[in-house]
């Protein structure tokens, strides 16, 4: 189902995404309803803008070269897959190695044609095991929140082409999405096509502002429903069940990062203690909690 592309993609090479309009509409309506008790969708959009401003402040306009270890931990607190493992990784490779990877990732950021190569290089040299598989997600979030109008959110929970899981599957046009054969690769072009389709859908629903972040919110809410309904014991243990219908949506987007009273985050340092925000202080982004 083609809702229309908004980013510059080579349509002739773009994958065809057979999305379900009814599934998307149900997810959209459920998102609007679920967000209302905690301030409505606008509050979450504002939180995502604030998150992006933090990334821009720390990494944008060449500031990545001056990034400190404390500032890096501050940013990682807002990247859910990185929270539990980044401390151990830095204990292994050191912060300088990580900063060099970030510099290379953002070098040439305006060239979308090198996106996949730069993302692959960011996690190059590490095995694709549980201890390191979050690294591509960190790189994807850095690119997205530095330039949300240019880079779609390219995390594994949106779509993991290697194993065929993610929010994309949950809005696929099929009688049984769990059994559907979805032959769609990962990579920038797939994510850009998906984002363009969803932005077209949102315009059809009367949404014209903040489309990149509204798309993030819709995708996160779609995958949150999967966690709630089909995730099983392991995923429920990771995300902790609760009556709040926006809990998993917030967590997927890293909007549950900080205890606003103490400044303590969910990020674990190498010694197992919780990181406390340093350079950034307690951010208003947590008002969406």
Residue 5 is assigned to a structural domain of this protein: no
What pLDDT, on a 0 to 100 scale, did the predictor assign at position 244?
84
Residue 8 is assigned to a structural domain of this protein: no
Kindly state the helix (H) or strand (E) to which residue 275 belongs, with its residue range: strand 274-276
Domain range for 267 is: 21-288
Residue 44 is assigned to a structural domain of this protein: yes
In sequence order, which ranges of 67-149 are alpha helices (DSSP H)?
69-76, 86-93, 95-106, 115-122, 135-146
Instruction: Using alpha carbons, select from 14, 96, 142 the residue that is nearest to residue 134.
Output: 142
Task: Quote the number of domains for the chain.
Answer: 1
Helix-, strand-, coil-residue percentages of the chain, each rounded to 5:
55, 5, 40
pTM of model > 0.75 = yes
Residue 263 is assigned to a structural domain of this protein: yes
Residue 2 is assigned to a structural domain of this protein: no
119: its two tokens: 């993302």
What pLDDT, on a 0 to 100 scale, did the predictor assign at position 215?
98
The alpha carbon dihedral of 48, 261, 81, 36 has a sign of negative
Q: What is the pLDDT along the chain (289 residues), one digit of tens a residue?
A: 444 444 544 444 789 999 999 999 999 999 999 999 989 999 999 999 999 999 999 999 999 999 999 999 999 999 999 988 899 999 999 999 999 999 999 999 999 999 999 999 999 988 888 889 999 999 999 999 999 999 999 999 999 999 999 999 999 999 999 899 999 999 999 999 999 999 999 999 999 999 999 999 999 999 999 998 765 444 444 444 457 889 999 999 998 875 444 444 444 444 455 556 564 443 444 444 4
In sequence order, which ranges of the chain are alpha helices (DSSP H)?
21-35, 41-59, 69-76, 86-93, 95-106, 115-122, 135-146, 167-170, 188-204, 211-230, 232-239, 247-252
Residue 253 is assigned to a structural domain of this protein: yes
Residue 133 is assigned to a structural domain of this protein: yes
Residue 16 is assigned to a structural domain of this protein: no
């Amino acid at each position: 189902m083609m809702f229309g592309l908004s980013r510059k993609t080579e349509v002739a090479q773009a994958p065809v995404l057979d999305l379900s309009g009814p599934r998307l509409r149900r997810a959209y309506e459920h998102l609007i309803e679920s967000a209302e008790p905690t301030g409505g969708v606008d509050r979450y959009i504002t939180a995502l803008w604030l998150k992006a401003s933090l990334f821009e402040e720390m990494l944008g306009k060449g500031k990545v070269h001056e990034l400190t270890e404390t500032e890096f931990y501050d940013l990682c607190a807002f990247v859910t897959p990185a929270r539990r493992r980044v401390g151990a990784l830095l204990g292994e490779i050191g912060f300088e190695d990580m900063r060099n990877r970030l510099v290379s990732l953002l070098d040439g950021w305006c060239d979308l044609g090198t996106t996949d190569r730069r993302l692959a290089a960011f996690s190059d040299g590490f095995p694709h095991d549980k201890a390191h598989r979050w690294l591509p997600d960190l790189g994807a979030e850095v690119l997205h929140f530095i330039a949300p109008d240019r880079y779609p959110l390219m995390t594994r929970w949106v779509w993991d082409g290697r194993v065929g899981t993610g929010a994309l599957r949950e809005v696929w046009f099929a009688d049984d999405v769990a059994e559907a054969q979805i032959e769609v690769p990962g990579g920038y072009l797939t994510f850009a096509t998906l984002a363009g389709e969803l932005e077209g859908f949102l315009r059809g629903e009367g949404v014209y502002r903040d489309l990149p972040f509204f798309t993030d919110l819709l995708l996160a809410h779609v995958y949150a429903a999967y966690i709630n309904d089909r995730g099983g014991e392991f995923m429920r243990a990771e995300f902790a069940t609760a009556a709040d219908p926006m809990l998993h949506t917030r967590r997927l987007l890293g909007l549950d990062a900080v205890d606003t009273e103490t400044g303590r985050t969910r990020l674990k340092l190498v010694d197992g203690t919780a990181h406390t925000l340093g350079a950034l202080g307690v951010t208003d982004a947590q008002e969406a909690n």
